[in-house]
Amino acid sequence: MPPTRRDFLATSAALTLGALLGRPLHALSSRSAQAAFTPIRRNVGTFTMRGGTVGWLVNARGVAVVDTQFPAEARALLAGLQERSRGRGVDVLLNTHHHGDHTGGNGVFRGVARRVVAHSMADQHMRRAPQPARQAQPAQQPPAQPASPQQQTQPPPPEPLYPDTTFTHSWSTEVGDERIVARHHGRGHTSGDAVITFERANVVHMGDLAFHRRHPVVDRAAGASMRNWARILEEVVSAHGPDTIYIFGHAGEGLPVTGTSADLLRFRDYLRAVLAFVERHVAAGRSRDEILAMRAPLAGFEAWGPFGQAGPRDPVSAAHEEVTTGA
């Protein structure tokens, strides 16, 4: 459905809500400062504000949402969805994986989402992971410092909302005239990633299995595998047609959050190039830190820029662990 006047009004409502939430602009990257609902095709679209890209479906009979960013962003998301659906609840909330920038707003959907679905490993990671700290003064403890004016305008963080439905290989449902399928392809960005296909719209939410032209987060502690991740991208591309539109969990500054199979295959090439680069330097006797200290961008992937600092989830450290442990 093409955007209607109603869509634009809903976007304005969400923007107004975003403004009322009162977060200073300097706390946000310029690209994600404002809530934006962007229709893609056949009642499916994206929502961007801060955190992993959200996917949504609002059709004549139902509402679905994929990921929830953080609490304040989730409130803007929910306001926009309710505007578009004339106040209907959410039939299903799906999480692509457990990370807080994708699930931190789940609690806002308590009592609104009839089902919450995720891969079984994502569910386990979620229940283990500390909740995102952005607004996290525990409700039962007084703040150590007087609250800033900004904190005073924020409602308390909602209780986390965990999946009530989990799957290991795949899960599907009908929402109105759309069929939604969630599939797990093995270890990738984490051990609990789901690829979520809106079959009739032919739109696929990749979660963080797709970072568009920026260095990815690779969560080895949660079971990531760059080798398998590259294979997953091929598997997903070959399971879908040439007209499929893919939603990326994250994109480089100023770049679109949706794209084509060519973008996914380019990212596959990047993952394999990082592994090959690290493998070569390990074979030459260099340490992980020496490899990370090389500031030149990866050959063929200059637009990505140099690698960042060493960290528990940077791609060079992850590739180094994968290359040196073989796991």
Map residues 194-213 to x or -, x wherever contact with Zn ion holds by CB under 5 A.
--------------x-----
- List helix spans (H) across the chain: 5-21, 71-85, 100-103, 120-128, 149-153, 226-239, 261-283, 288-293, 315-325
Taking the least distance from each CB to Zn ion, the nearer of 178 and 219 is: 219
Query: Least separation, in Å, of the C-beta of 195 and Zn ion?
Result: 14
Torsion of CA 135, 137, 139, 143, to 10 degrees: -130
Q: How many of the chain's residues bind Zn ion (CB under 5 A)? A: 2
Q: Under the criterion CB under 5 A, does residue 250 sit at the interface with Zn ion?
A: no
Contact 74, 108 (CB under 8 A): yes
CB of 82 to Zn ion, least distance (A): 27
Q: Angle at CA 300, nearest 5°, toward 295 and 304? A: 55
Minimum CB separation of residue 274 from Zn ion in Å reads: 17
Angstrom distance (rounded) from CA 47 to CA 79: 12
Does 50 interact with Zn ion (rule: CB under 5 A)?
Answer: no
- Nearest CB to Zn ion, comparing residues 134 and 281: 134
222 neighbors 191 (Cβ within 8 angstroms): yes
Nearer of residues 123 and 208 to Zn ion, judged by Cβ: 208
Least distance in angstroms from the C-beta of 208 to Zn ion: 3
Question: Structure tokens of 119?
Answer: 């891969």
User: In whole angstroms, how close is the CB of 101 to Zn ion at the nearest point?
Assistant: 7
Q: Are strands 178-183 and 195-198 parallel, antiparallel or unpaired?
A: antiparallel
Binding mask 11-30 for Zn ion (x = CB under 5 A): --------------------
Considering only residues 207 through 246, tell me which ones interact with Zn ion, judged by CB under 5 A.
208
Find all residues with CB under 8 Å of 31, minimum gap 6, and list them: 48, 253, 254
Shortest Å, Cβ 189 to Zn ion? 6
Minimum CB–partner distance for residue 219 and Zn ion (Å): 7
CA dihedral 247, 55, 61, 178 (to 10 degrees): 30
**Residue number, 15 or 264, with CB nearest to Zn ion:** 264
Residues 254-313 contacting Zn ion, CB under 5 A: none
The residues in 79-108 that bind Zn ion, with binding defined as CB under 5 A, are 99
Question: Tokens 């992850």 belong to which residue?
Answer: 318
Q: 97 vs 320, which CB is nearer to Zn ion? A: 97
Residues that bind Zn ion (CB under 5 A): 99, 208
